[in-house]
Structure 1
Amino acid sequence: MKKNFYLRSAIFVILLMHSVVSIFSGDVNNFGRLYLDTIGFSPFGLYLAWAVKLTHLFSVFLIWSDRWVKPVSVCNMVILILGIYWVHWQNGWYVVGGGTNGIEFNVLLICCFLQLIFTDYPSLQQEKRS
């Protein structure tokens, strides 16, 4: 069984749903044009939004297959930290309950990625010995 199987499974589902649903619903385009462009990223808001979603999408398969787990985790953590700063901070801590659209979910995902970063992977150990 893979290390962090349940953690990987949760990240797999979260990132897959977060990317695929917004791609097919068109929300990624709206986020790029209607939000990122208006807060100062114009004319690159749409491209930035797509870069984020594609990073999430490719991360799903790379993390699941034990490939480039640490760089992928760092990339996603950067995205989540910037998401906290640009999108969620003004809404407080809670995603639901005590508020809406807050930072708690991003903080949890950052901790999940930190766990992946600080886990030793057998495939990396074998490569180091060679």
Structure 2
Amino acid sequence: MKNNFFLRSALSVILLMHSVVSIFSGDVNDFGRLYLDTVGFSPFGLYLAWAVKLIHLFSVFLIWSDRYVKAVSVCHIFILVFGIYFVHWQNGWYVVGGGTNGIEFNILLICCFLQLIFTGKKGSGSS
């Protein structure tokens, strides 16, 4: 069994659903044009949104093939930190309950990716 099997499984499902659903619904385009472009990323908002979604999608395969897991984790931590800063911070902590669209889920995901970084293969640059 792979190291961190359950963690990899959960992250893979989250990344897959977060990318595939927004790609097929067209939400990725709206996020790029209607949000990212308006907060200062114009004219690159659409490209940035697609880059994030494609990183999510391809990361699933890299995590399961046990390749570049540390690099994938660092990329996602970077994406999540920027997501906290630009999207979630003003909404507080809670995703649901005490508020909406807050940072708690991003913090949990960051900790999950940190776990993958620090429990990966020792001495291997490709993990």
Which structure is higher in helix share? 1
The sequence identity of aligned pairs, in percent, is: 82
Mapped partners of 1:37, 1:89: distance in 2? 19
Structure number, greater radius of gyration: 1
| Counterpart amino acid of residue 89 in structure 1 | W
Mapped partners of 2:64, 2:100: distance in 1? 30
TM score, norm. by length of structure 1 = 0.93
- Where does the alignment leave 5 or more consecutive residues of structure 1 unmatched? none
- Where does the alignment leave 5 or more consecutive residues of structure 2 unmatched? none
List aligned pairs for 1:19-98, cutoff 5 A.
Answer: 19-98=19-98
Decide whether the 8 Å contact of 1:8 with 1:63 is kept in 2. Answer: yes
Q: Which residue of 2 aligns with 1:16?
A: 16
Q: Which residue of 2 aligns with 1:116?
A: 116
Mapped partners of 2:17, 2:7: distance in 1? 15
Residues 10-62 of structure 1: per-residue CA shift (max 9 Å, x gap): 00000000000000000000000000011111110000000000011111110
Instruction: Give the RMSD, CA atoms, in angstroms.
Output: 1.6
Decide whether the 8 Å contact of 2:70 with 2:120 is kept in 1. Answer: no
Residues 91-130 of structure 1: per-residue CA shift (max 9 Å, x gap): 00000000000000000000000000001327939x9xxx
Provide the secondary structure at the position in 1 that maps to 2:40. helix
Mapped partners of 2:45, 2:91: distance in 1? 21
TM score, norm. by length of structure 2 = 0.95
Mapped partners of 1:65, 1:100: distance in 2? 35
